[in-house]
Amino acid sequence: MNVTDQLINDGILDQDQAQRINDSERDKPMSVHWELKTILYLGILLFMSGLGILVYQNIDTIGHTVIIGVISIACAASFYYGFIRRKPYSNGEVKYDSPLFDYVVLLGCLLFGVLIGYIQYQYMVFGTHYGIATLFPAALFLGTAYVFDHKGILSLGITGFAASAGISVTPMHLLKNNDFSSNDIIWTSIVVGAVLAGFSKLTDIKDVKKHFGFTYNNFASNILFIALLAGLFNEGYMAFVYFLLIAGLVFYYMRYAIAEKSFLFLLLSVVYGYIALTYSFFSLLIQIGNELSFMLGLFYIVASCAAVVLFFIYYKRILRIKK
């Protein structure tokens, strides 16, 4: 039976209204909002890539000044467009109706990054201080993100900030590009992650752009957990300290997840915490190392998985969340 007929039977809808709903269902336009935006975005991606290669190949014939000039003008034009259409800054979320606005501002930022990279490569304006050459655009991105309320540019700024400290935090490269067997990387990552999480917490308290919290904490939680796990795996006398730090972080992000209703963080803390616990348990078992320990290990996996499943089912009751 049709839903509208059913509701008429229940006396919730009357005939006229049901008719209106059926008409509206039939005539409702199809939204191609995200499809067109995706095409636009992919177009910009392809265009930027193609242009990048073209410029790279023809540097000798075009000349540096021309390239720098063109990129600067395009960059300035994008930012000009952004600034004249800008809405006044607010600590809350600012929404732009124009679909193009976000992309033009993003383009301006990308061009600025290319420009700085180019100038640094060609003229070494920052000398061998590569960190500063990355930090400078990153700072501009972070500022732009706040001015134009743009999460994409914010994540560019965060990756730039982390890169200037020497680590890759882009989602796919987090594990691939970083050598987590070195203690320097681990400590740098912990500092970067803590700064990001702390800054997000601070802005949260001050009520500045609260909706940026997800982006900050998504980078921060992953980099922190992975760095701490790497510290745990590297063993040595610090392992216990790392274990405690992970436990603390699990606690922090569980509370964060519940406060923000952002359950990605609940999943992340449980998964990372489970890895840490399992690793520690098994290294203890190996140290004891008698015949029973293999059996005990298997029992541990069965019991712990069951425990996690039960936790996910009853987490509201376990964490005392009022519904």
Partner 1 sequence: MIAYNKILLSNLLVVKKTKQWFSRDLINGAQMASVLNKYPIEYFKPNIFIKVGLFLFTLFLISAGLGLFSLVTMSIFMNDNSFEGYSIVVSIVFGGACVFFLEKFIQWRNWYSNGIDDALLYSALSFIFSAVAFSISNNLNDEDGLLLLCFIYLPFLIAAAVRYIDRVVTIFMVVCIYTIFFLLIMKIGDVAKFIMPFAFMALSAAFYFIVKKQMYLPQIIHYKGCLKVIKSIALIVFYVSGNYYVIRESSVEFFHLDLNEGQDIPMALIFYAFTAFVPLLYLFFGLRSKDKLMVWAALLLIAVSAITFKYYFSLGHPEVSLTIAGIMMIVLAYASIKYLINDKNGITFKDDPNEDNFLKTNAEALVIAQSFGTHAQPIDTGVEMGGGQFGGGGSGDKF
Smallest gap from residue 97 Cβ to partner 1 (A): 10
Nearest Cα neighbor of 151 from 203, 229, 189, 95 is 95
Task: Check: CB of residue 273 under 8 Å from CB of residue 227.
Answer: no
Is residue 81 part of the contact set for partner 1 (CB under 8 A)? Answer: no
Is residue 318 part of the contact set for partner 1 (CB under 8 A)? Answer: no
| Listed ranges 59-67, 73-81, 173-181, 202-210: which one lies at the site for partner 1 (CB under 8 A) | 173-181
Nearer to partner 1, 239 or 258 (CB): 258
Distance CA 149, CA 85 (A): 13
Question: What number of CA atoms fall less than 13 Å from residue 66's CA on the CB side?
Answer: 7
| Listed ranges 74-82, 117-125, 200-208, 232-240: which one lies at the site for partner 1 (CB under 8 A) | 117-125
Is residue 321 part of the contact set for partner 1 (CB under 8 A)? Answer: no
Nearer to partner 1, 12 or 70 (CB): 12
Is residue 171 part of the contact set for partner 1 (CB under 8 A)? Answer: yes
Instruction: Name residues contacting partner 1, limited to 174-233 (CB under 8 A).
Output: 177-178, 214-215, 218
Single-letter residue type at 67: I
Nearest Cα neighbor of 213 from 251, 257, 248 is 257
Task: Check: CB of residue 226 under 8 Å from CB of residue 175.
Answer: yes
E-strand ranges in 176-296 read none
Q: Fill in the per-residue mask, 235 to 264: x = in contact with partner 1 (CB under 8 A), - = not in contact.
A: ----------------------------xx
| Listed ranges 76-84, 244-252, 283-291, 293-301: which one lies at the site for partner 1 (CB under 8 A) | 293-301
Single-letter residue type at 165: A
Nearer to partner 1, 91 or 177 (CB): 177
Is residue 96 part of the contact set for partner 1 (CB under 8 A)? Answer: no
Q: Fill in the per-residue mask, 23 to 62: x = in contact with partner 1 (CB under 8 A), - = not in contact.
A: -x--x-xxxxxxxxx-xxxxxxxxxxxxxxxx-xx-----
Which residue among 20, 73, 251, 292 contacts partner 1 (CB under 8 A)? 20
Nearest Cα neighbor of 201 from 155, 253, 126, 136 is 253
Is residue 288 part of the contact set for partner 1 (CB under 8 A)? Answer: no
Is residue 290 part of the contact set for partner 1 (CB under 8 A)? Answer: no
C-alpha separations of 1 from 6, 13, 16, 20 in Å = 7, 15, 18, 18
Which residue among 3, 175, 244, 321 contacts partner 1 (CB under 8 A)? 3
Question: What number of CA atoms fall less than 13 Å from residue 307's CA on the CB side?
Answer: 11
Distance CA 254, CA 252 (A): 6
